[in-house]
A and B are shown apart, each in its own frame.
Chain A
């Protein structure tokens, strides 16, 4: 009878130890899950942060492009205006004569 009790106790102890090990494993698993959540949040935050920085850089670069565009258009316009003015001045006398005649009734 005594030997049988001993055996039951040994089994019982072994089961207790097993339960503790399982609980420990579950605790470790919870920690793994929690660390997964933290890593996921950090990953997402970093990706968003990096993308926002890239976007911000992109938008700030626009200012430089704007100046380039303005400079280019302004330079083209100045050239066109200068040419137009030169051509117009060559024909100014003709315009004066024609308009003068129209207004004084000679045309």
Chain B
């Protein structure tokens, strides 16, 4: 081989080596880039999936809490309906009782209890229309006098109270009174009555 051919051979060999190096470097760059992107793509996919999982979980929990709350309200509504049924039935019974003989005893007791609480010697009784005749005032005076330990006198008011039953007992000076009409008692005792009904109806519940 001549000198010049040798030189050309060297140039060609170096060129080929350089070519290979350039291509090899580009392919290495490509491989690294793809590997890096595969990692990033996996991470990005995981973020999206985890976010969706969390969102689904939260949504389901929220929905479940809502459904449980709805169920609780249904329970409360049912309880309320059962309590109301008892209250309405009792109210109806009270309205019916005024026409029966046992009303005399009930009305007398309401007067005695109210009078004892007031502890006055002179008291006025205000009845619903036509109810005054259903009690024996003299008998009640005796019972109250015995209970409070002093002579008690009643006067029956000419006025009437608008009520289904019961009585208002009032000190003669008008400063103190006990409203023992059915309506006032229902209103006054409502919370206690509701608690009692709940206790009886729902006491077996855990």
Contact = CB atoms under 8 A, between A and B. Distances in A.
Interface residues of B, number: 76
Contacts, number: 197
A92 B30 CA distance: 83
Contacts of B189: 102-103
Interface residues of A, number: 64
Contacts of A65: 60
B78 A84 contact: yes
A48 B60 contact: no
Nearest to B205: A84
B97 to A, nearest CB: 7
Main secondary structure of the interface of B (DSSP, over half): helix
Given A10-B8, A44-B41, A105 B109 contact: yes
Interface of A: 7, 10-11, 14-15, 17-18, 21-22, 24-26, 28-30, 32-33, 35-37, 39-40, 43-44, 46-48, 50-52, 54-56, 58-59, 61-62, 65-66, 69-70, 73-74, 76-77, 80-81, 84-85, 87-88, 91-92, 94-96, 98-100, 102-106
Interface of B: 3-4, 7-8, 11-12, 14-16, 18-19, 22-23, 25-27, 29-30, 33-34, 36-38, 40-42, 44-46, 48-49, 51-53, 55-56, 59-60, 63-64, 67-68, 70-71, 74-75, 78-79, 82, 85-87, 89-90, 93-94, 97, 106, 109-110, 113, 180, 182, 185-186, 189, 192-193, 196-197, 200-205
